[in-house]
Structure 1
Amino acid sequence: MKPPSHLKRSRDHAGDAVRDVDAAGAPREIGRILDRPPALANEALRGGARLTRRWCHGELHADLPGMPGHVVMGYYGAAQDCSWRQGGSRKASRTRPGSITLIPEGHDGRWDVEGPIEVSHVYLSNDRLLAATEVLAKGRPIELVGRICFDDPSASRVLEMLSIEAEQGDAASSLFAEQAVDLLCLQLVRAHSSLGAAPAAPRKGLADWQVKRVTTYMRDFLDRELGLDELAGLVDLSRHHFCTAFRLATGQTPHEWLVALRMTRARQLLASHDLPVTSVALAVGYQTPSAFASSFRKATGVTPTAFRAAL
C-alpha cells in the first residue's frame, strides 16, 4: 500500500501558473473496475482537474490501486451500502445525498458498493489543490484524509453544481467551474485534511438495519402505493417519529427516498427497449404515463422517452 504523500506544488517556466498534469490516470483506473466508465466532461480545467456529469453505474466489488491525484465523489438518488478496506482497516457507510467520498492520491483499497448508484466525480491534481488553498496552507504540508460517504453538505452541493456545469461545455460554464473547483479544494483542506479534519458526526435517527429494512420493503413493492403508517410499522414507530428519524438518518424524507428508488428502477427498465414506457410507469408505482413522466423529468431533467433515446 502506498502511503499518502505530502502535497507539493509545482509551477511552469513562468513561475506563476499551475502546471497542468495528465488527468487521465484516475478516471481510467476507476473506469477499469466499473461497468460504466466515468462520464467525463470534454475539457480539462486548470491544473488538470476533470469533472464528470451525473451518471449511474452498477454494483462494485474490486480492488482499486493507488491513483495519481485525488478523487471526490458525490451521490444522488437512492442509497446503497458501501465499504472500503485498506490494509487492516475497514470503513463502511451508505451512499446518500449530502455525503462525499474522498480518495486521496496513492490510497489503494478494496471497494464493495451495492448498486446501482448515481454519482458524479471530480479529479484533482496536487497542484490544483494547493494552488487553490495557498493562503490557508501558508506553506505547510497537507495530507488529505480518506473519507467514505462522509456527511459534508457544503462539498456535496459544490459537487452537484459541478456535475451540472459539466453538461454545458461553454465558456461561461468553464469559468464558473474553475471557481467552484477552487471552492471545493478549500472545503477539502479545511474539513478533510491534516490542517483541519472534521470529526464524523454522530449518527442519529434510525439505525442502519432499520433503514435497510425499510429500503428493502420499498424496493419489493415499488409498483404500489406505500403509506407512512405501513412503513413506520416495519420499525415499530409512530408515523411522526418515523419521519423524523428517517430524515435524520438519511437526509431525505421517506417520500423522497421512495421516489429515488423508483427513478433508479425506472432507468434500469428504460434501458430495455422491450418494455413500453406505460409498462415502466406501472412497474414503479405510477398509474398514468403523465404522472411518471413528470416525476422522471423532475429527477433527471429529461422525459423517459428522451432518456431511452439517448441510450
Structure 2
Amino acid sequence: MARILDEPPILLSEVLQGDARLTPKWAHGGLKEDYMRGVTGHIAVGCYEGQHQISWRIENKLLDSRTNPKAFTLIPQGVDGHWNIAGPVVVSHVYLTQERLQACADEIAGGRRIELLPRVAFTDPAAAGLLEILSQEAERDSASSRLFAERAIDLLCLRLVQEHSSFGSLPAQDRKGGLAGWQVKRVTAFMDEFLNRHIGLDELAALVDLSRFHFCTAFRRSTGQTPHEWLTGQRMKRARELLARSRLSVTEVGFAVGYETPSAFAAAFRKRVGVTPSAFRRAL
C-alpha cells in the first residue's frame, strides 16, 4: 500500500493481540488507476475528511462510491485491483490478521472459516465509528488505552463478521453453508443466459459477493451439484434441444452451448448423455 500512496500509513509501533496494528489519522493524496497487490491480512479504512469519488476495480467487478465519515472501506487479504480516489483524504487504518478475525468469529460462526467481502466507502456508521475510536486510541500511549483498543477491535471484528463477510451475507436460515434462494436463482439464470461462452468461477462468485472458495461450497450445499456440474447439465439440455429442433450442424450446436472445439463438445455430450451428438440426432 505504501508504494501507491504519496504519504504512507503511519503505523503504530505497538503490536496488539493477534498481530493487529493501528494507525492514527493521516492525510494522503488521490489515486488514479493505481494497482495494489493483495496483502497479507485484512485492512479496514475509516475516512474523516475529503468527500470524493472512490472506486476499486477487481478483475471484472467495479466497486465505486463516495468517501464520507459514515462509511468505511474493507480490503480483504489477498484481494488486488486498481484504485481511483478523486482527491486527498484523511483516513485511518486497522490491520487485522485472519487469526484475530477468526478468534472473534468462532463463537457465532460455529468454527467455519470467515471470508470478508470487499467494500468501498460502504455506509456503516457502526463500523465507521469503531474505526474512528481506534484512530483516537492510536494517538494515546497508556495501558488503559491499549486495553480499550483491544476491546474495540473485538467489536469491529464481530461487526465485520455479522455484516461484511461470507457468514453475514447470508440470511440466518441459510447460514449453515448454502446459498439463499435468490442467490441460486441469480447464478443459474446467469448461466442460462451465457451458455454460449466461457463462464468462470470468479465471475459467478462475484454475482453474490462471495469468494470463489465459499461460493463453490455454498452452491454445492444448496443444489447438490458443483457449479461445473450444473453448468454442464444446462449446456447438455440446450444442446439436446438444438439438435432436435434446429438446423444447426453438430459443430455449430457445440459453439452455441459454449464449447470451443467439436471434440470437446462431443466428449462432454457423450459422457453426459451416453451417445455422441451425431448419434443422438440420428436416433430422433
Q: TM-score, normalised by structure 1?
A: 0.53
CA distance in 2, matches of 1:37, 1:78: 17
Q: Could you tell me whether the CA contact under 8 Å between 1:158 and 1:180 is conserved in 2?
A: yes
CA distance in 2, matches of 1:112, 1:79: 13
CA distance in 1, matches of 2:100, 2:141: 20
Tell me how far 1:105 sits from its aligned partner: 0.6
Tell me how far 1:198 sits from its aligned partner: 8.3
CA distance in 1, matches of 2:132, 2:115: 24
Q: What letter is aligned with 1:147?
A: R
Tell me how far 1:134 sits from its aligned partner: 1.5
2:24 aligned residue (53, 60, 74)? 53
CA distance in 1, matches of 2:60, 2:147: 43
CA distance in 1, matches of 2:127, 2:141: 22
Tell me how far 1:44 sits from its aligned partner: 1.1
Q: What letter is aligned with 1:44?
A: V
CA distance in 1, matches of 2:24, 2:109: 30
CA distance in 1, matches of 2:169, 2:22: 24
Q: What letter is aligned with 1:142?
A: I
Tell me how far 1:40 sits from its aligned partner: 1.3
Structure 2 match to 1:41: 12
CA distance in 1, matches of 2:125, 2:158: 14
Structure 1 match to 2:52: 80
- Structure 2: gaps spanning 5 or more residues: 172-284
> How many pairs were matched up?
170
Matched, 1:191 2:163: yes
**CA deviations over 1:154-210 (Å, ceiling 9, x no partner):** 0000000000000002111111000100000000000001111289xxxxxxxxxxx
**CA deviations over 1:124-151 (Å, ceiling 9, x no partner):** 0000001112211111121111100000
Structure 2 match to 1:164: 136
Q: CA RMSD in A?
A: 1.3
2:41 aligned residue (50, 63, 69)? 69
Percent identical among aligned pairs is 51
Structure 2 match to 1:117: 89
CA distance in 1, matches of 2:170, 2:109: 16
Q: What letter is aligned with 2:23?
A: T
CA distance in 1, matches of 2:91, 2:14: 19
- Structure 1: gaps spanning 5 or more residues: 1-29, 200-311
Tell me how far 1:69 sits from its aligned partner: 0.3
Q: Could you tell me whether the CA contact under 8 Å between 2:102 and 2:113 is conserved in 1?
A: no
CA distance in 1, matches of 2:25, 2:167: 30
Per the alignment, do residues 198 and 119 of structure 1 end up closer, same or farther by CA in structure 2, a change over 3 Å counting? farther
Q: Could you tell me whether the CA contact under 8 Å between 2:72 and 2:128 is conserved in 1?
A: yes
Structure 2 match to 1:296: none
Tell me how far 1:78 sits from its aligned partner: 2.7
CA distance in 2, matches of 1:139, 1:178: 21
CA distance in 1, matches of 2:17, 2:63: 32
CA distance in 2, matches of 1:143, 1:172: 31
Structure 2 match to 1:141: 113
Q: Could you tell me whether the CA contact under 8 Å between 2:44 and 2:95 is conserved in 1?
A: yes
Q: Could you tell me whether the CA contact under 8 Å between 2:105 and 2:111 is conserved in 1?
A: no
CA distance in 2, matches of 1:111, 1:129: 25
**Helix, strand or coil at the partner of 1:31:** coil
Q: Could you tell me whether the CA contact under 8 Å between 1:191 and 1:198 is conserved in 2?
A: no
Structure 2 match to 1:301: none
Structure 1 segments, 4+ long, off by >6 Å, are none
Tell me how far 1:99 sits from its aligned partner: 0.3
Q: Could you tell me whether the CA contact under 8 Å between 1:75 and 1:95 is conserved in 2?
A: yes
Q: What letter is aligned with 2:136?
A: I
Q: Could you tell me whether the CA contact under 8 Å between 1:60 and 1:111 is conserved in 2?
A: yes
CA distance in 2, matches of 1:198, 1:136: 13
Structure 2 match to 1:259: none
